[in-house]
């Protein structure tokens, strides 16, 4: 009993501080970008939206989890479960596309610098952001509606929040529509953005190789290093979750990977950009002074 209470206290404190730090750092990035006119560029507009997505990730999952840990009430109404899954999927869809457009932004900035503000004008950037969020909403609506067709053989999910894979694991039938939507989503929001990201960075690397000076190469590479790190962490953790076999033996591993993917990664993203981006650090110092 004592061990269980200690674990409960540790889990509550851990999730509370993860949520607090994630909210604080992402909010700082949004405020810094909004208040500094020098950061009103396409790159920082997309970064601002990435912070909004990261706030959404943790806000959708952690407050409900903290309530469960405090109250001891593990029951979640089905409508709340679907709502949580809907907003989580919308955030995930938006993040994939924001990471893709950030890679394209770096490609245009490095490979076509003279046409940068023409290709990524203010109107085009706003239109892209609107399409990303609407697309995320449509995608999450389709998956949520397909889950409504599930026939469940259990009312207990082995996950810390309502997630499509966790619901799939306790279903006995009615999954045909889900798989159709899932594979379409995998193609549109998974394979295509990843391939486009790879193509962008292959072209960027070719440009970097043509630069003769080491300082020039280092400067160009530093402009996209933060995005590369964030992208590697995000895709690595997400792929690990969805490649984990649906077996009781891997329940704990899947839960740990999901916790990292949905709570730790949204906290790491802004920290990486703050620590590795000179412009953001400079604007942050100005704001403090």
CA 56, chain centre distance (Å): 9
Helix (H) or strand (E) segment spanning residue 152: strand 151-152
Which DSSP string corresponds to 188-251? IIIIHHHHHHHHHHHHHHHHHHH--SHHHHHHHHHHHHHHHHHHHHHHHHHHHHHHS-SSGGGH
The candidate with the shortest Cα–Cα distance to 21, out of 281, 288, 269, 259, is 269
pLDDT at 72: 76
Greatest mean pLDDT among 90-104, 163-177, 192-206 lies in 90-104
208-233 confidence digits (pLDDT tens):
777 777 777 777 777 777 778 888 88
In this predicted structure, which of 71-75, 246-250, 283-287 has the lowest mean pLDDT? 246-250
pLDDT at 110: 85
Q: Does pLDDT of 2 surpass 60?
A: no
CB 25 within 8 A of CB 271: yes
102-118 confidence digits (pLDDT tens):
888 988 888 888 888 88
CA 191, chain centre distance (Å): 16
73-109 confidence digits (pLDDT tens):
778 888 888 888 899 889 888 988 898 898 889 888 8
**CA 205 to CA 210: how far, in whole Å?**
9
């Amino acid at each position: 009993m004592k061990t269980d209470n200690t674990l409960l206290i540790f889990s509550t404190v851990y999730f509370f501080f993860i949520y607090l730090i994630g909210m604080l750092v992402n909010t700082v990035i949004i405020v810094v970008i909004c208040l500094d006119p020098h950061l009103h560029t396409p790159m920082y507009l997309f970064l601002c939206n990435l912070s909004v997505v990261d706030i959404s990730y943790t806000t959708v999952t952690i407050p409900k989890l903290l309530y469960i840990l405090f109250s001891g009430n593990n029951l979640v109404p089905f409508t709340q479960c679907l709502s949580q899954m809907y907003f989580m999927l919308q955030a995930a869809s938006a993040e994939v596309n924001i990471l893709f457009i950030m890679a394209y932004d770096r490609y245009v900035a490095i490979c076509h610098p003279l046409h940068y503000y023409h290709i990524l004008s203010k109107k085009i950037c706003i239109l892209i952001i609107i399409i990303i969020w609407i697309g995320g909403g449509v995608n999450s609506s389709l998956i949520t509606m397909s889950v409504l067709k599930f026939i469940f053989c259990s009312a207990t999910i082995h996950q810390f929040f309502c997630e499509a894979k966790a619901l799939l694991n306790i279903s006995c039938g009615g999954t045909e529509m889900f798989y159709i939507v899932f594979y379409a989503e995998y193609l549109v929001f998974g394979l295509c953005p990843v391939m486009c990201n790879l193509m962008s960075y292959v072209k960027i690397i070719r440009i970097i190789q043509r630069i003769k000076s080491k300082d020039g190469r280092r400067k160009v590479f530093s402009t996209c290093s933060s995005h590369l790190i964030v992208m590697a962490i995000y895709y690595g953790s997400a792929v690990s979750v969805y490649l984990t076999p649906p077996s009781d033996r891997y329940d704990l591993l899947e839960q740990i990977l999901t916790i990292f993917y949905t709570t730790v990664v949204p906290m790491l993203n802004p920290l990486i950009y703050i620590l590795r981006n000179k412009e953001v650090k400079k604007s942050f110092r100005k704001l403090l002074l």
